[in-house]
Structures are given as structure tokens and as C-alpha cells.
Amino acid sequence: MVDHELGVSFKEGEEEPEDDDDEAFEVSSVSGNESEEEVNLMALAEEINTESFGPLRLERKTVVEMRNVWNAYCQSHDTIEAAADLLYEAIFESSPAIQQVFTTPKAVQAMRFIDAFDSYLACLDKPKQLKQMVELLAYRHINIDVTVTTAEIFRDAIMDLLVEVVHDFDMSARIGWLAFLGWIGGAHIYIKTTYQERLSTLEDCWQKANKTDGTADAKASGHAKQSQNYAPKPQKTLDDDEDDDAVETSSSFEEEDARGADAEWESETENVGEEKKSCCCCFGRTRHATGDGASAENVTRTTSSKSTGSENTKSAVAFVPSNFKEMFEFNIQVMGLRSNAWLEEILYSFDAIVTHIGNPKRLEEELDVLTLRIAKVAWEDVNLNQFKSVMLASLRSLLPKEWDTHHEVAWNWLWDVVDQLLSKNLGKPYEWENSLYYFLQAIGEDTGYQLRSTIYDRFFIAAPLGQDYFKQSDTRLHFIMQRVFNFSMDIFADPWQVVDDISALGLRHVGYGVPTELFGPFVTAVLEVMLPAAGTSSAKEALRWSLALIAQQLVRTISEGSTLVMKAVNTNSGGQLVKAVNLAPRGKRAEWLLNVQVGTHSISPLFWAIQSGSLDAARSIIEDLLVIRADRERYYFGADDLFGRHQDIVGILCHEAPSILPTLLDGLCWRSTRTQAGTRRANYYVKHLIINKDGQPAEFLRELCKIKDPKLMCHPVVVTVSDKLWSGLVQRQFLLSRLWFIASLITLMLSQSILPKIPALASITAVRWIILFGRCSIYCGTLVRLIIRHAAQTFAAIRHRKFRTYWHVILVPEYLHDLFQGGSLILMMMLLLMCFNEPMLHCAVSSPDTFPTDHCGDDNGTIESTRRLYSVWGMLSMGLHWGLMLDLSVFSTGLSAFFLVLTQVLGIIGPFVIALVFELLMFGTAVTLLQTNYFEMRDIPNSVLALFAMVVMLFEDDYRSVYDEPALLIVVFVFFLSVLIVLMNILIAQLNSSYVFIYQDMIGFARIRRALVIVETLSTLEASKWERFVSSLNFDKPLEFNEGDVGMAGGLQICEPASEHVVLKETIARFGGLCSEDMQWPDEGRQEEDKLIKVQELADEALLQATKQAKLRRRKMLAGTDDDGGDHGDPQGYRHSSFVRPPIDVDDEDDAGLSFAGGDD
């Protein structure tokens, strides 16, 4: 305890009764003449106590002088914002170590300093409330490494600023400020040291209350990177006129009080009758509600409702909650609090509150959002103690054995923190929303444009790096700024949707690679420009608060989402991506590549890589996921994770990156390096290509049919899936669906082409009845079926607006572009015309005595003309029937390929026919102008017909007939030259080249056609048949790799010809060592790189040795020439005078010395 003459005393564990009477604060003052004592007291005040944290008690005079100093500082500036900026700069510039924890925008943080000191100084004469506020402040900085040195730097920076600005700063106020600031710094250090045990208690209790093992949060995070902790900024807390006893501080919970409360609760439990004891959770809520402010009337109503045996209460009692959410909901129903919607909002966020209690900045963000949500559902005053009552009762009921005084203290402390953070802004969002809305709406277009331009100018000056990211056009930049203003308004109007939108926006900025350091200067620039234009303080506060919350959410989202994998995706580097994912535990490797979770939103690095065009990174992700890795205990294969995260991955790749599809398909296939009896074992993991996660047919083949890539359709995986569906299910179903058509064709042939054409059967009445029955079955069966079918499909096209427009006028349903559907529509029309012109029906009217017959008496020739029309429509119907039978060619891939090639090749004949018609018209019209006696070319129709007959070799006349007509003979000769030599040969050349080109892919086109049939058939398949087919595939049965090596399930195993796919290297990456899922895989790239380095070193060493040996041999040769005194190659012994022996470098001499010492080479 410090001497009272100092005016400051620290009393730990002792509470003074707070009173408004001035005498309660009368303590002796320090005499102004005792300079030596002042020095001692100053030194004592400068000490920072980190061993304890008790209430700070100042004498009344010291409190008044400290407040006067603060008021003088604030009044020495023109605006409060200027005072806040100067205070911020003094603290920020005091030490580089302090600068690292400032992440909130300057304009926001500066005002928080002012608000915090206003609140603290207002409570200097209320030690209990001041201690509570500082305790909250210290908790919000619990993740920051506060030391005595940093506390002294912070204190000295503020003291120096006050001394510099405030001239009337006497010794008593200086000692009070030193003690006050030092007390706050010591509180930070003390609370950081002592609260870790409390946080551990909360975490353990919450896991037990929710039946979790502590891994849920880690799995939800989506990556191993821990969230970055930020320094919470001080904010304004309780108002001056708030009652000191409104909120209990955690430090006031002494063990004796906690034990007393616990004992009281237990004693109340014993007084309850056996009927209530049967439901301990119900009892705990009821009694605790009574003790924490719930009226006795509510308890009585609850009890009476139970005794009456109402259905709702009976069902509630019969239900036994097993976790906190169920227990809480049950409790609020029993206590009659179900109508309070704000309780549901807090319950929805309570898991995040408890989870992030160790991260104050994250907790504050969650509570700020919760404040907005409560403001939208609470139409009256919110009593937060109601939630506290239900919360404690629920926890006590869930943990009756573990609950003790430590839990009581910890959970009361947690709710005190939540209560204070919620209470400081509760009730303000409604006023903020209105004032901010009117302020932003009042800004005119020209003024708004000028304000937005000024914001960007200031931002680019404060953060030049921002120009590298705001590279869009000026209109786009103004659009972005307007979106910022809209977010600041909409977050008050619809916090649920806007918070989700902000999270999604932050995850997109993760893909853009935007530095989080730019958000602070950006928000500061916005506030510096917009706050002077705001008319009311409420609008200023609303804009400052909303932008700070939005920026905090974006920064957190980007920080948590900026994993090493995302950074590699942004650079589109496959090598960096492999290095990044090699740091992942083997059990979470796929999770790193597929999910980055931030709050309730997630982003897939794979999807972002595809969407942003980083195809190298996307290909590397797919390759890494589909590599089969194995240790001694288990196999790791990412196919289930890939399709579980992106069920539509095939559709995404088909539309965004078709070039990566072969990589995906290759990864789903494993082939053995061993062969047996000329075959090779192959496993195709195609479960997700056949069935989706809902058990329905997958969209794999449908998506492939859209891109119509014949080479891709011939991929072994696609062939396996297609053949398995075709042979196991679709083939039989398709044949059954076409039986009616085959029967219709047979009936049509019998009733039209066979029975009526046999004269011997014409007089037999039974045969005529058979013919009539066959024709009626065509009309009533085939025709009616086609009408119903096309009517339904047409109405569906109208309902879904699936049309194609021709010549901007004609609308054709999209389904008619299928050849079979279009042909069946024409067949329906032909059958309708046949029905209207049926001769037997007409004869039934004109000659009922001879019915049934189609040859009856006709006086005016009407029946005869009807029979002629009927024969034409019948001929066309018969031809269409046979033409539509080509659809059955899908049963044979080769036959289907042939017809497809024929269809493709026939398309080339169209231009030839057009050219031929042009030639015929040109020469036919030209010939008629000649003065000739040749009868066959007397006019245009006959000339064209004669020329066409010459082309097709059906002209009956001879060229000698026109021998006497040289002009006509020349025209015919030129016509033959242009048609038979030029056009025909061009047609033959085109047919040949087209056939060669189409032949290469005709199997692929045939498989596309079969795939379309499969997709169409599966869309109408009965669910029971599909389930039987899926169960027959045994996808749950693990497949063997090699004999005795059991691998993963989810595939089909077949034996392929060994020569079809040659496999020289095992594709399964096997590793030894420990088998823990938390360990990383060995660096495969490093192993391969080390091997290459060794090979390179060996090659370099061999090359060096070869070079040395060559130099030695050259020296020996030169030395032997000098010793002989002549050139052995020159018979005359002639030596060139210009010959100079090449110099030997140092390395050569060393090599030579080694050679001579070691012997001959």
C-alpha cells in the first residue's frame, strides 16, 4: 500500500463502498513545499506493478486535476479529430515495436483513443467500474506481447504529449497520470499471465458441452495456417451515469462467493419434488431463472403447465437434449422466453463467441455483427442477463459432475466480457442507420464525384502501392467507391446478407493477392474526406464504425485465406504449389488444395485457379490430388475429396478449361506394371463419374457430350464408364423403348405394303379386317403416342423458353434439333395426313355394304384421288419409319461410326448440287437462245433436263444428232468439261479428304452418339432400376492393386491386353517411415532433384577426366615431336619456322606432372 500523501493507493482484495459523497474521496494532498518527497513519490508512481491487479483509488483533488489536464488537451485543438490525430501520432511514433500492432485505420483508431480516455477519466472516482473497464481493455490486448518496456514507452509518449501541450500541468496531476497509465500497463501484463488457465477451462468445458473432440474447428479452417492475431484497439465503454452494479466484474468473483452461489443452487435443487428431478435440465433452468431475475410468476406458469400435462410440455420433457444448443432451446421454451428473437441470434453466434474468446479482436468483430442482428429483431429493451441465466443453467445441466467454482468463475467472466462489448453499442444501430442513410442520400451527383476523386487522390498519396491494384478505368473506380458506401449503409439494413457478401468479397481478394496493409490507408482516406461533409455526429460515428467493421472483416478474411497454396495459385506456378502443399500433413493435403475456410464462407484454390486462368496451377492441383500415395497402413487418394468438394468438376473443366480434362481422367486410372497371361490389371476409379453424392446419375457424360470432343470420348476412362452404363443398364432399356417403333414399322408394312398387294387375299374378308385393324393400331397407337410426346415436349420448351430463332421470326423448339425428334415430328404429320385420307374410312361412308375395303365404287373420282394422296403419304411414312430405324445403330459402335461418316460426308454433296444446278441453269438458258433445230433443247425446261440426262448418262440421243450444229456442240462440250471434269473431280477429292479426316475420329463421334442415348435414357429411368444397377457395381468393395495388395474402394477393375497400354513405372508413390496422418510426405521433388544432381555431378566428373586425358595425350605428342628434331609426318624433315608451341596453363602442367609421375597414359 502506498502512502496516502501520494494521493494514490493500491489495495488488492479490498473493496471500498463507493458513494457519491465527497467525503469518501478526501485524502491528504501532497504538500507543494516538499520537493524531496515529490521526487520520491514520482519515482514510486513510475513503477509498474505486474504482480497484482487491484482497484485504483485516487484522491478527489487528483482526479479533478487529471480531468482538467485532459480537457485542456482536447480544447487546445480546433476539433476533436485533430486532438485524436496528434495523440495517435505521439503513440505511433514512440517506438517501431508499437507500430506493428496498429492495424486499424488511423482515423478510426485515433478516435478510439479519445473515447477510451474519456470513459476512463469519467470513472476515475469509481474504482470498481474503472477496474472492470481496464480489465476488459487488457483482455482485448491479451494476444499482444505487452512488456514493462512497452508499457513505459506507451506511458512516456502520452505524458510527453500532455506536458508539451498542456501548460498548467502541476505535480499532483502528473503523479496521478503516471500512476494511472502505469496501472493500465501493469494490468495488461498481469491479465495476460493469469487468464490462460481460464481460457483453457472454457475450451474444455465447451467441447464437453457439445460432445466434440476439439478437431471440428481445425477441420473447418480448411488449412493448417493459424489465424493472425491482431491488437485490439481501446474503445469507449460504459457511460458515466451507468450504475456500478449493473455488470459484475470477473475479479469480484472470489472463491467464497462462487462456492456460496453453487451451494445455494444445490440447496435449491434438493428442495424440488421427485417429479421435477426426473428432468434435471428442466429443473436447472427453472431454478436458475428464478434466481437471476426471472419472475416467480413465470416459474409458476411453467410448473402448472407441466402439471396439467399439455402436449407441448410433455413432448419437451420426453426430449433429452444432448448438447448446448438443444439444451438452450429447451430451456428458453420452459422459461417462456421463446418470443425473444434476440436470444436465438446470440445462440447462433455463441459457438463463435466461445471459440474466439482467446482472440479478442475476432470476438469484438463477432459481437459487432451480433449487435447489428439484435437491432433488427429486438423491438424493445434487451435484457442480456436473461441469456446469462439460460446459459449457466444449460451448462450446469449438461455438466453436473464437472461443474465447480472454476467453471462458474470462467463462464461468468466470459459473459461479463460479452455483456460489456455488446452494451457499448446496443441500441445505436437504428439511429446510425437513419443518419447515415440521409447523409449519403443527400450527396449530389457532382459532389459525390468530387468526393470520390478526392478520396483516391489522398489514398494514392498515402499508399502509392495502391495504384498497382486500382488499375481499372475511372468509371470502375467510382463504381467501387459507391459500392463501399452501399456496404456501409446495407450492413445496418441487412447484416446477415451483407456480412456474407463481405466474406465472399474478401475471399475474392485473396485470389487477387491484395495486401492487407492497403485497407487502413484506404479507410483513413475515406473518413478524412467524408467526415467533414457529414452534418451530424451520429452520421460521422456511423460511417466510422461501419467502415472499420467492414475493413476488419476484409482484412481478417484475406489474412486467414492467404495460404501458401493460394499464393502459388496467384503466381500460376506449379512448382511453387507443390512446394507449398508439401508442408501439409498427409491427412490434410487434399484439404489444403480444395478448401480455404474463413468464417461461414470458403474458397477453393482449384476453382479459383481455373476461374482466374492459372491453368498450370490448376493442373498441378489435380495431378497432386490424384496421385496415389501410400505408407504401410493406408492409401491416400484425393478423388473422394475432389468430387466431394466439386461435384461438378467435370462441368467446370468442360466450360472453363477443357485442356485439363485429360489430366483429370488420367489420374482416375491405375495400371499395373505386371502382366499375366497377356493381360494387365487396371483399376478405374469412376464411382463419382457414374453416381453423384445424392445417389443419382452423374452429369459426367452429359457434360462431355456438350463439348463434342471425339478424342476425349475415346479416353479409356470415358470408354469404361460409357460401356458399363450401356451394357449394364441402358442397352436393355433403350431396346425396350424402341420396341413400339419396331412393332409400328412391322404393322405398317403388313397393312400397307404386304397384305394389300397380294391379289389372292383381296377377296378374303378376314384379311381385310386384319388390314383395317393394323391401320387403326397405327393411328391409335403410334400417331397418338407421337402427338402426346411432342405436345408435352413443346409445352416444356415454351415453359422453359428453350427455342432457337431463325430469320429473327421463326421459333423452333430446341428439342427438335435432334435428328430422331425432328424425324418423328415429320412422321407424326405424315400419319395425320394418312388418317385424314384413309380410303377404308371413305369407303365406309360411300359403300357400307362392302366394308372393310379401300376399293369401292366412285362416280366422281373422289375416292381415287384420295387413294393417290394416301399412297404418297404412306410412301413418305414408310421411308421415315425406316430412316428412324437408323437410331438402333448405336448397338454397334462400328455400324454407328459408318453411318456417322456417311452423314458427315454427304454434307459435302450439298455445295456440289448447288454448283450443278447453277451450271444447268446457266447452260440451259444459254442454249435456248441459239437458232437451232434440235428438238430436245427447244426451251429452258427441256434444255436443263437434257443436260442433266447427259450428266447422269441417261440421255438417249447421240452426239451425231447435233453434228450439224457446231455452236450447240461447243456449248455441250464446255458444259461437259465444267461439270464432269471440274465439278465431279472436285467432289471426289473433297469426299476423299473428308473421309480421311473424319475416319480418324469416327469412333469418337459414334461414342458421343451413344453417350447422348445413355444420358437421355438415364433421365427417364426408374429409381429402383438405378439402385439395383449401382448396388451391382460394388463400389464399396476395395480393389486390389497387385495380388494381396488391397487398395481403395470406389472403382471398377478390368483386365486389359498387355500391349494396349505399356506401363514401365509404378504410379503409386510409396513411402516408409512413420505412418501418422499428421506427418508430411517426403519431398518427392527434392528426391528426384537430388538424383538429377548426382547424375549431373557424375557426368561433369567424367567429362573433366576425359578432358584431362585428352590434354595429356596432346602434350605427349608435342613433346615427342620436339625430341625427334623433326616432323615425322614430313619426309623432308622440313620444320616451319613459324611454328610456336602452345603455352601450357597451370592446370595443364599439373596434369602433366601427374601423368609423368604415374606412368604412361
What are the start-end ranges of the H helices in 634-777? 639-645, 649-656, 661-667, 687-690, 700-707, 710-713, 716-725, 731-748, 765-777
Task: With cut-offs at 50, 70 and 90, classify the pLDDT of residue 303.
Answer: very low
Those residues whose C-beta lies under 8 Å from the C-beta of residue 1044, and which sit 6 or more positions away, are none
Answer yes or no: is pLDDT of 611 > 80: yes
Alpha-carbon span 952 to 982, nearest angstrom: 15
Q: What's the confidence (pLDDT) of residue 596?
A: 84
Q: What's the confidence (pLDDT) of residue 18?
A: 44
pLDDT tens column, 1014-1025 = 998 888 888 889
Alpha-carbon span 653 to 648, nearest angstrom: 9
Those residues whose C-beta lies under 8 Å from the C-beta of residue 933, and which sit 6 or more positions away, are 965
Lowest-pLDDT choice from 391-400, 623-632, 739-748, 1133-1142:
1133-1142
Q: How many residues does the chain have?
A: 1161
Beta-sheet pairing, 1069-1070 with 629-630: parallel
- First-to-last alpha carbon distance for the chain, in angstroms, is 96
Nearest to 524 by CA among 81, 67, 973: 81
Alpha-carbon span 11 to 376, nearest angstrom: 44
The better pLDDT of the pair 142, 202 is held by 202
Contact 458, 447 (CB under 8 A): no
Task: With cut-offs at 50, 70 and 90, classify the pLDDT of residue 790.
Answer: confident
Answer yes or no: is pLDDT of 256 > 60: no
Contact 112, 233 (CB under 8 A): yes
Nearest to 287 by CA among 262, 320, 310: 262
pLDDT tens column, 826-837 = 888 988 888 888
Q: What's the confidence (pLDDT) of residue 502?
A: 85
Lowest-pLDDT choice from 286-290, 529-533, 604-608:
286-290
Q: What is the pTM of this model?
A: 0.62
pLDDT tens column, 647-682 = 899 999 999 899 999 999 999 999 998 888 888 999
Answer yes or no: is pLDDT of 857 > 60: yes
Alpha-carbon span 955 to 945, nearest angstrom: 9
Distances (CA, A) of 1113 to 455, 613, 1108, 1124: 79, 58, 9, 17
Task: With cut-offs at 50, 70 and 90, classify the pLDDT of residue 684.
Answer: very high
Q: What's the confidence (pLDDT) of residue 622?
A: 93
The better pLDDT of the pair 213, 230 is held by 213
Cell triple for residue 893?
A: 459402335
Task: With cut-offs at 50, 70 and 90, classify the pLDDT of residue 1141.
Answer: very low
Nearest to 710 by CA among 1011, 492, 279: 1011
Q: What's the confidence (pLDDT) of residue 649?
A: 92
The better pLDDT of the pair 529, 567 is held by 529
Cell triple for residue 1018?
A: 438415364
Phi, psi of 81 (to 5 degrees): -65, -35
Task: State the average pLDDT over residues 236-257.
Answer: 34
Q: What's the confidence (pLDDT) of residue 685?
A: 93
Percent of the chain at pLDDT > 70 equals 81
Alpha-carbon span 540 to 436, nearest angstrom: 8
Task: State the average pLDDT over residues 1124-1143.
Answer: 41
Lowest-pLDDT choice from 10-14, 54-58, 598-602:
10-14
384-398 and 324-334 are packed helices; what angle lies between their axes, rounded to 10 degrees? 120
Q: How far is CA 444 from the centre of its chain?
A: 39
Mean pLDDT for the chain overall: 77
The better pLDDT of the pair 63, 295 is held by 63
Task: With cut-offs at 50, 70 and 90, classify the pLDDT of residue 230.
Answer: very low
Answer yes or no: is pLDDT of 718 > 90: yes
Q: What's the confidence (pLDDT) of residue 666?
A: 92
The better pLDDT of the pair 456, 817 is held by 456
Task: State the average pLDDT over residues 507-516.
Answer: 78
Alpha-carbon span 744 to 1160, nearest angstrom: 99
Q: Averaging pLDDT over each range in 854-858, 909-913, 1084-1088, which range is the top one?
A: 909-913
Lowest-pLDDT choice from 209-218, 909-918, 937-946, 997-1006:
209-218
The better pLDDT of the pair 850, 265 is held by 850
Alpha-carbon span 265 to 297, nearest angstrom: 19
Beta-sheet pairing, 803-806 with 810-813: antiparallel
Q: What's the confidence (pLDDT) of residue 689?
A: 92
Task: State the average pLDDT over residues 97-120.
Answer: 79
Q: What's the confidence (pLDDT) of residue 319?
A: 63
Q: What's the confidence (pLDDT) of residue 42?
A: 62
Those residues whose C-beta lies under 8 Å from the C-beta of residue 273, and which sit 6 or more positions away, are none
Q: What's the confidence (pLDDT) of residue 885?
A: 81
Task: With cut-offs at 50, 70 and 90, classify the pLDDT of residue 619.
Answer: very high
Distances (CA, A) of 194 to 198, 200, 205: 8, 11, 18
Lowest-pLDDT choice from 25-39, 200-214, 570-584, 902-916:
25-39
Contact 780, 822 (CB under 8 A): no
Answer yes or no: is pLDDT of 271 > 80: no
574-581 and 564-571 are packed helices; what angle lies between their axes, rounded to 10 degrees? 170
Task: Give the largest CA-CA distance in the chain.
Answer: 151
Q: How far is CA 452 from the centre of its chain?
A: 32
Q: Look at residue 57 and give its three-state secondary structure.
A: strand
Task: With cut-offs at 50, 70 and 90, classify the pLDDT of residue 8.
Answer: very low
Tell me the sheet residues that pair with 670: 683
Alpha-carbon span 1113 to 1121, nearest angstrom: 13
Lowest-pLDDT choice from 229-233, 417-421, 1033-1037:
229-233
Q: How far is CA 837 from the centre of its chain?
A: 62
Q: Look at residue 805 and give its three-state secondary structure.
A: strand
Q: What's the confidence (pLDDT) of residue 85?
A: 85
Task: With cut-offs at 50, 70 and 90, classify the pLDDT of residue 45.
Answer: low
Distances (CA, A) of 1122 to 1109, 1116, 1128: 20, 10, 10
Cell triple for residue 204?
A: 474444455
